[in-house]
Chains A and B, each alone.
Chain A
Amino acid sequence: MSGDHHHHHDHGHGHAHSPPQPDDKVHSYYQILSIALKELLIEKNVVTAAEVRRFIEARDSITPANGARVIARAWVDPAFRARLLEDANKAVGELGFEMTTARLVAVENTQEAHNVVVCTLCSCYPRDLLGLPPAWYKSRAYRARIVREPRAVLQEFGTELSDDVALHVHDSTADIRFLVLPRRPAGTQHMSEAELAALVTRDSMIGVTVLDQVA
């Protein structure tokens, strides 16, 4: 460090440390309610702490990579793609993924139509296939704006859609969860199914982005 009269964070061994995270988070009413309910259920032997932890671990093990495998299969196997659009629960089951809580419907992006998914009422999301939704998906700003000015929101994600393309905003208001089937990027003709799956992003399956062309 060369600064002799500038303030700096060097403390003698060549790097700065991040400050510790203070554990001073204030819980909301519903967070406290949920903690109290969990503690009561454990106290009354309805569930055990280990069961709660295992459930959270099982949830955390579901990632967008599961959805990416489905998309890649649909790109390489037209018959699978047809089955996915016809009955997505059954089709993802072929790859070993189980939709335990909801009906899954796949919506396909084409040259003429682009799909994007929201839940304006809460945070409905195909969790059984993609895991937990990103924080922005649950934000009031996204939920309000994607139905009101969807093209402006997509632009903020770097997605430019021509006016010739019909934008379909799917509001997950009831029992159906939507999975966007993105268009296969150009330049991927020689890729294997596994290589294709590695290209598929979470945001492209929500529909806020399209997949980049592969150089």
Chain B
Amino acid sequence: MTQFAPGDLVRIRDDYPPGHIRTPIYLRGKEGVVERYFGAFGNPEVLAYNLKGPKKDLYKIRFRAADVWPDYQGSPKDVIEADIYEHWLEKLA
């Protein structure tokens, strides 16, 4: 049972812990939509230190470019998609 489903509105945690984090800083705190679920993958935040830990569900999150960059110059249809592990996602209403 996954925590999120395609179409869910989510926010990326606005958090800046040290370590090997694969959640880009430019997306932290941004809101997007779950586009698809990829499955569970090893967590890079522990793998980077040669440690073992539970796998994390990985989702493709779609952001409107204009939501990521308030002064975005392009089409309002443009999006950025990034692959984000579950523990970086917060569900919005």
Contact = CB atoms under 8 A, between A and B. Distances in A.
Contacts of A163: 74-75, 77
Given A169-B81, A174-B84, A120 B26 contact: yes
A173 B26 contact: no
Given A103-B38, A175-B41, A169 B65 contact: yes
Contacts of B38: 103, 105, 175-176
Given A166-B78, A166-B79, A171 B73 contact: no
Nearest to A113: B77
Contacts of A51: none
Contacts of A173: 22-24, 82-84
B73 A149 contact: yes
A174 B58 contact: yes
A170 interface: yes
A65 B38 CA distance: 27
A106 to B, nearest CB: 13
Contacts of B41: 174-175
Contact of B78 (A103, A167, A171, A174): A167
A120 B24 contact: yes
Interface in A148-186: 148-152, 161, 163-176
Interface in B59-93: 60, 65, 68-69, 73-75, 77-85
Interface string B11-49: 000000000001110100000000000110110100000
Nearest to B83: A174
Given A121-B24, A174-B22, A174-B41, A150 B78 contact: yes
A147 interface: yes
Interface of A: 103, 105, 120-121, 147-152, 161, 163-176
